[in-house]
Structure 1
Amino acid sequence: MKIVKLLALVIFSLGTTFSFAQKNDLGAWYMYFGNNKISKKWNWHNEIQYRNFDAVGDLEQLLIRTGIGYDLTENNNNVLLGYGFILSQPYVNGEKTENIEHRIFQQYITKQQFGRFNLQHRYRLEERFLEDDFRMRFRYLLGVNIPINNKEMLPKTFYASAYNEIFLHFDSPVFDRNRVYGALGYVINKNMRIEAGYMNQLQENKNRGQVQIGFYNNIPFGKN
């Protein structure tokens, strides 16, 4: 019953938000994240993000990422090598354009728990192969999940989620962008959860908001 109420609230909230999307230049991101155990130490990361300039229909970016990770300690301190395909359709002088990027990335994720606070640090290095350029970028994300109606992130738990992520170029200008995010999430079961939230991105001295819906799948392959 709780999950039905949550979904109803999300749909209502998004409907209200999207009715003003064009006026407020508010975008929407629909995201799927998979982190599936292959064995006790190895995992497969798979991710799809469908990003729109408005609620739906005006594609801003389609991002597909995948990678293989390895836990240095039990279920923590994960190192990963991955690949990303990014199709972007930005507006240039009022005209919609299209470009494709291939991206290789390496990342390290470490987790910490302090009471109800579940912290995650993610360090990511990206090699970006654009159509007419090559760039390197470093990203650092600090995120936290805080269960609300339980002390831990157990099934049927509502939780608050937040993160800040900074992007830095290896050349000038060094600062690329910064993202600040807040959301309400629900743990469906031990392997699945959903989130609905809002992210503000600062880039080129401009702020832009994004409504985000995310689904997380951690179903393992076989018995580990």
Structure 2
Amino acid sequence: MKRILAGVLLLLSTIDSYGQEVHGDPNVWFFMLNHYSLNEKWRIGNELHVRRNDWTKEQEQFLIRPYLDYKLNDNVSFTVGYTYIKNSQFGKYPLPTAVPENNIWEQVTLTQKIGKLKIMHRYRQEHRFIGVPVKVSDDNYEIDGTHFTNRFRYRFTMFRDLTDDWFVHVFDEIWFHQDGLKPKSFDRNWLYVGAGYRVARNANVQLGFLHQWIRATADRYAERPTVQLMFQYDF
């Protein structure tokens, strides 16, 4: 455990050394997560994200993510899903127009428990179809076709119950652009710390802080502090 945490800290310090410019307004993100168990092995789920920039003043992203999950055993699960993302014009370096993205993804999650501590390793492979903005007249752009690329994500997560109702949730996630399926370049890093409260046996609310470190261009990084509010309900 100590070696893993030390590696994460070393990675963050390495990323920080390459940034030539850091900027970014505070974000506020709202999530709703739902799951429905079909049987002991299979379940379906969906995520709905509304992401706002500059303390909710600007629309940042809208995201919907349905998926199908298969539980091999208590330690291993496999997931396939689809994500639709609408990237809006926001921030100091806005897109010329809203850009949609559709991606298909596969995921493996490894879980282990040490006393009250739950540890998860999540490996996700994304196949992304990103809209291409094309200028059609002065200050007017349209989406013409898509650009295909792959991206790999690894998330290390820790959950720990504090009481029957309260728990803490911590994760660090690193993202890589890919050349085919080979890692090509660093994309971003997320570090999250939050607290949750179980409002019912099958529902909880979480409030946390997410530190985003995003590679905007080859020599410019964006650092975005983010407040995250999430509601989860299992049918």
- State the 1:56 CA deviation: 2.8
1 CA distance for matches of 2:153 and 2:194? 21
| Runs of 4+ residues over 6 Å off in structure 1 | none
Match of 2:210 in 1: 199
Tell whether the 8 Å contact from 2:152 to 2:176 is kept in structure 1 after alignment: yes
Report the counterpart of residue 180 of structure 1 in structure 2.
Answer: 191
Q: Across the two proteins, how many residue pairs are aligned to each other?
A: 189
| Identical positions, percent | 29
Identify unmatched segments of 5+ residues in structure 1: 1-23, 220-224
Contact 1:89 1:96 (C-alpha < 8 Å) held by counterparts: no
Q: 1:185 to 1:55 in 2, by over 3 A?
A: same
Q: Which amino acid aligns with 1:213?
A: L
In structure 2, the residue corresponding to 1:73 is in which secondary structure? Answer: coil
Does residue 211 of the first structure (1) align with residue 222 of the second (2)?
A: no
Taking structure 1 as the reference length, the TM-score comes to 0.79
Following superposition, the deviation at residue 113 of structure 1 comes to: 0.8
Q: Would the alpha carbon gap of residues 214 and 96 (structure 1) be closer, same or farther in structure 2, given more than 3 Å must change? A: farther
Is the CA contact 1:50–1:63 (under 8 Å) kept in the aligned structure 2? yes
- Return the offset for 1:147: 1.4
Match of 1:20 in 2: none
Distance in 2 (alpha carbons) for counterparts of 1:52 and 1:117: 32
Query: What is the alpha-carbon distance in structure 1 between the residues aligned to residue 196 and residue 47 of structure 2?
Result: 18
d(CA) in 1 for partners of 2:100, 2:205: 29
Residues 165 and 94 (structure 1), Cα distance of their counterparts in 2 relative to 1, 3 Å cut = closer
Asked if 1:108 corresponds to 2:108, the answer is yes
Q: Which residue of 1 aligns with 2:176?
A: 168
Q: What is the alpha-carbon distance in structure 2 between the residues aligned to residue 185 and residue 116 of structure 1? A: 15
Question: Does the CA contact (< 8 Å) of 2:169 and 2:193 recur in 1?
Answer: yes
Aligned equivalents of 1:143, 1:195: Cα separation in 2? 15
Task: Report the more deviating stretch, 167-176 or 182-191.
Answer: 167-176
Deviations 1:137-168 (A, max 9, x none): 010111111111x3xxx4xx111111000001
Residue 187 to residue 67, structure 1, CA distance change in 2 (3 Å): same
Contact 1:36 1:217 in 2 (8 A): no
Distance 1:160 1:94 in 2: 35
Unpaired runs of at least 5, structure 2? 1-23, 133-146, 216-220
- TM-score of the superposition, structure 2-length normalised? 0.75
Q: Which residue of 1 aligns with 2:49?
A: 49
Pairing 1:139–2:153 present: yes
Report 1:33-72 matches (<5 A): 33-72=33-72
Letter in 2 for 1:216: Q
Q: Would the alpha carbon gap of residues 94 and 194 (structure 1) be closer, same or farther in structure 2, given more than 3 Å must change?
A: closer
The offset of 1:217, in angstroms, is 1.6
Distance in 2, Cα, partners of 1:83 & 1:182? 26
* d(CA) in 1 for partners of 2:158, 2:103: 27
Q: Any conservation in 2 of the 1:104–1:126 contact (CA below 8 Å)?
A: yes
Distance (whole Å) between structure 2 residues aligned to residue 72 and residue 95 of structure 1 = 42
* Residue 90 (structure 1) shift: 3.0
Match of 1:88 in 2: 87
Q: Counting strand residues as a fraction of each chain, which structure ranks higher?
A: 2
Using the alignment, how far apart are the partners of 1:47 and 1:163 within structure 2? Answer: 18
User: What is the aligned-residue RMSD (CA, Å)?
Assistant: 1.8
- Looking at structure 2, the residues matched to 25 and 93 of structure 1 have their Cα atoms a distance apart, in angstroms, of 11
Map 1:118-133 → 2, pairs under 5 A: 118-132=118-132, 133=147
**Cα distance change, pair 93–110 in 1 and its aligned pair in 2 (3 A):** closer
Contact 2:160 2:167 in 1 (8 A): yes
